[in-house]
Amino acid sequence: MADDDEKPPMAVQIQPDYSAGKNLSVEESSDAVSVGVTVITGYLGAGKSTLVNYILNGKHGKKIAVILNEFGEEIGVERAMINEGEGGALVEEWVELANGCICCTVKHSLVQALEQLVQRKDRLDHILLETTGLANPAPLASILWLDEQLESEVKLDCIVTVVDARNLRFQLNERRDSSSFPEAFNQIAFADTIIMNKVDLISEEESDELEKEIHSINSLANVIRSVRCQVDLSNILNCQAYDSTHVSRLESLLEANKSLTTTDLHDSGVRTLCISEPQPINLDKVRLWLEEILWDRKLEMDVYRCKAVLSIENSDQLHILQAVRDIYEIVPARKWSEEENRMNKIVFIGHKLDEEALRSGLRDCRP
């Protein structure tokens, strides 16, 4: 079967719209809502471009901008994030599609490209960022999530990983013949949503087994099966995976508690671990404990993602914890209700997770 995964969408070129580069008035800015950014990652050939083409050519009535980044690992994410000022390298090419979507490629400053996009006078509904040549989406996610330079004009909505159902098992097993850590583990571990593409090329039983393997690495992710990446766009747009006010999905996931803890099927040391603590905990102690794990790596664990519902002493607010690599945020989300069982539940996704050390560390956060 010919794989046309890398074909670009049909498009016509337009000029960048600089007319909206003016400052917003107070009235306008107060009504401004951040534009969500979905990061799309996955192996070459998994179907990233097929997904992008499906969205760009679909009749969904949304104005979506797609950024095809070409900075890759060799330039480095840090360089790509630098705003180089008026004379800096801007978006290389802008293309407008028949359904109103916009497509552009970026070779240098992603921040500038995002700023240009949100300054266009025709309001965007969403931005997709396809990460060509970037094995690990974590640094990108961290900057989009909590970067002050973007001044809340854009916000990280979710990380979508596209996997090739026919080849994923081979990609996961590369570990056995290599000293390097397979990209596939990273891309699955960091994902909020995983599109298991090309399921028509394997049996239903194989699909079920593969989904189990994916959940053994990351049991928090939403797994969607697809053929040619034709998915319901509501599963990948406006997911609000990093929005502290959108806590219901996280709470329902954490309700499963024990079932979230997985064993490692690949001897890779990558898995999901869920721990809980019934007593309220001290916020300052939690911060210090997390910083030892995420920043100092005192326990020599590699934590990729962390999500939690926290019961903080002397507070009637349910707090949400989210972490991507070494960046974390703890914020109050809503009031605990009278009948709720106030419990701390923390999910870690990572490498070489030490369950006993994490349990005792959480216990030590009690007042």
Q: Which helix (H) or strand (E) holds 186?
A: helix 183-189
SS3 74: helix
What does the pLDDT look like over 61-86, one tens digit per residue? 888 888 876 544 433 333 333 333 33
SS3 360: helix
* Mean per-residue pLDDT, 133-157: 71
β-pairing verdict for 193-197 and 154-164: parallel
SS3 355: helix
In which band, very low, low, confident or very high, does the pLDDT at 43 lie, cut at 50, 70 and 90?
Answer: confident
Residue 44 has pLDDT above 80, yes or no: no
Please tell me the chain's helix, strand, coil percentages from 3-state DSSP, rounded to the nearest 5: 30, 25, 40
pLDDT at site 148: 60
Average pLDDT, the chain: 76
Residue 169 has pLDDT above 90, yes or no: no
Residue 273 has pLDDT above 60, yes or no: yes
d(CA 239, CA 38): 9
d(CA 309, CA 318): 7
Q: Which of 13-17, 113-117, 186-190, 320-324 has the lowest mean pLDDT?
A: 13-17
d(CA 249, CA 322): 13
Lookup result for tokens 């990280």: 156
221 compared with 107, residue with greater pLDDT: 221
For residue 166, what are the contacts with CB-CB under 8 A and spacing of at least 6?
A: 198, 201, 202
In which band, very low, low, confident or very high, does the pLDDT at 18 lie, cut at 50, 70 and 90?
Answer: very low
User: What is the DSSP track for 224-289?
Assistant: EE-STT---GGGTSS--TT-TT--HHHHHHHHTGGGG----SSSS-EEEEEEEESS-B-HHHHHHH
In which band, very low, low, confident or very high, does the pLDDT at 203 lie, cut at 50, 70 and 90?
Answer: very high
Neighbours of 28 (CB within 10 A): 10
65 compared with 142, residue with greater pLDDT: 65
Where in the chain are the domains? 35-72+93-235, 247-365
Among candidate residues 136, 130, 132, 131, the one with its CA nearest the CA of residue 180: 136
CATH number of 247-365: 3.30.1220.10
d(CA 16, CA 367): 56
In which band, very low, low, confident or very high, does the pLDDT at 289 lie, cut at 50, 70 and 90?
Answer: very high
Dihedrals phi, psi of 158, to nearest 5 degrees: -170, 165
Residue 206 has pLDDT above 90, yes or no: yes
In which band, very low, low, confident or very high, does the pLDDT at 108 lie, cut at 50, 70 and 90?
Answer: low
Structure tokens given for 247? 């806590």
Residue 348 has pLDDT above 80, yes or no: yes
Q: Find out if CATH 3.40.50.300 is the number for domain 35-72+93-235.
A: yes
β-pairing verdict for 302-311 and 317-324: antiparallel
Q: Which of 173-177, 268-272, 327-331 has the lowest mean pLDDT?
A: 173-177
pLDDT at site 23: 35
pLDDT at site 88: 36
pLDDT at site 17: 38
pLDDT at site 256: 57
